[in-house]
């Protein structure tokens, strides 16, 4: 069995405990029914007691040298956003990225990656309140103001704290498959997957009324992915018009019903590829994608791979899975 993937979180005073805890809950919390794939450590430029945003200090024992053997460097927020980052920190981040480490920012951590030059010419995001500031300060960064997260493989950024959880689960999904990530999400009582392209916030500022919530419909549809689920059928089950249903999807999820449904079907296919030996054409039918050709097309478009290659990578027959 290969060694665990080393994740080192780079902290800065005053550190937000919540943003750090979001990542730690995904990567560091032990689950008795799941294999442990990650080692999680924290470090800071100056080890010792480190102030937090809520008043108490946090003891950090490791300095920047901890980044030298990290497989993933995580920057869980940075206060104040846009403040100058020391040359030593920037050099350590560039060195880690240069030797192949994945560098990930949650929320305002994107400002640090931008100062290090790791986002030049690339799409990135941060908390919606700070996107204009990020764009103005770093004109070479292509700031996407609406999405939950952006992942380039070697560098990734997320919006606010909740989106940081989505990004961390996405990274687990990339590393160890959809089934493993879904089990962690289930333990955290969270949805198993939110696409990075979903909007950071709903179109209207007030929460939807209980009788307008999409949750019951989403549960109903998830249990019937292998059946024809047209917009009209979804609207009929929800007891609203097709136009009203489309509007609610846009307001509450930031995507169309078709986009949501396609994502769920791809996720269901990933899980079946990981956990069963079913032929690809059978899986395509079970998740409502029709044919093996259609399933392969969607995998290539959305995941950049084929169902067969995905199964070879994440299938449960792997000795280290």
- pLDDT at position 317 is 46
Structure confidence by residue, pLDDT tens digits, 283-313? 999 999 999 999 999 999 988 889 999 898 8
Q: What is the helix (H) or strand (E) element at residue 287, kind and residue range?
A: none
pTM of the model: 0.76
- Helix/strand/coil percentages in the chain, nearest 5: 45, 15, 40
Answer yes or no: are the C-beta atoms of 121 and 140 closer than 8 Å. yes
- pLDDT at position 210 is 54
Which residue ranges does the chain devote to CATH 1.10.10.60? Answer: 204-321
Structure confidence by residue, pLDDT tens digits, 15-64? 999 999 999 999 999 888 888 999 999 999 999 999 999 999 999 999 99
Which residue ranges does the chain devote to CATH 3.40.50.880? Answer: 5-187
**Residue 301 structure tokens:** 């478009």
Query: Is domain 5-187 annotated with CATH 3.40.50.880?
Result: yes
- pLDDT at position 319 is 38
The fold adopted by the segment(s) 204-321 is: Arc Repressor Mutant, subunit A (1.10.10)
- DSSP helix/strand/coil, 254: coil
Q: Which residues of 149-178 are buried (b: 16+ CB within 10 A; e: fewer)?
A: bbbeeebbbbbbbebbbbbbbbbbbbbbbb
What residues in the chain have per-residue pLDDT under 50?
Answer: 1, 196-208, 317-321
């Amino acid at each position: 069995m290969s060694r665990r993937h080393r994740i080192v979180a780079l902290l800065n005073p005053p550190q937000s405990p919540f943003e750090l805890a979001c990542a730690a809950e995904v990567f560091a919390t032990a689950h008795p029914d799941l294999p442990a794939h990650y080692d999680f450590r924290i470090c800071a430029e100056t080890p010792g007691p480190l102030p937090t945003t809520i008043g108490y200090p946090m003891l950090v024992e490791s300095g920047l040298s901890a980044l030298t053997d990290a497989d993933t460097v995580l920057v869980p927020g940075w206060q104040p956003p846009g403040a100058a980052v020391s040359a030593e920190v920037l050099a350590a981040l560039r060195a880690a990225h240069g030797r192949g480490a994945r560098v990930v920012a949650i929320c305002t951590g994107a400002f640090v990656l931008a100062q290090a030059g790791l986002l030049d010419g690339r799409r990135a995001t941060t908390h919606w309140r700070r996107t204009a500031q990020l764009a103005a300060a770093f004109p070479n960064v292509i700031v996407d103001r609406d999405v939950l997260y952006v992942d380039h493989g070697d560098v990734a950024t997320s919006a606010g704290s909740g989106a940081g959880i989505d990004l961390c689960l996405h990274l687990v999904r990339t590393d160890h498959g959809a089934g493993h990530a879904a089990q962690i999400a289930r333990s955290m009582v969270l949805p198993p997957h939110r696409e990075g392209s979903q909007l950071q916030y709903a179109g209207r500022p007030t929460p939807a009324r209980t009788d307008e919530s999409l949750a019951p419909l989403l549960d109903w549809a998830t249990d019937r992915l292998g059946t024809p689920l047209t917009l009209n059928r979804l609207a009929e089950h929800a007891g609203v018009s097709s136009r009203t249903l489309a509007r609610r999807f846009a307001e509450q999820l930031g995507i169309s019903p078709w986009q949501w449904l396609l994502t769920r079907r791809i996720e269901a296919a990933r899980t079946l590829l990981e956990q069963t030996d079913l032929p690809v054409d059978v899986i395509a039918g079970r998740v409502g994608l029709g044919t093996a050709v259609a399933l392969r097309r969607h995998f290539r478009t959305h995941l950049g791979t084929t169902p067969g290659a995905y199964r070879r990578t994440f299938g449960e027959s792997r000795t280290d899975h």
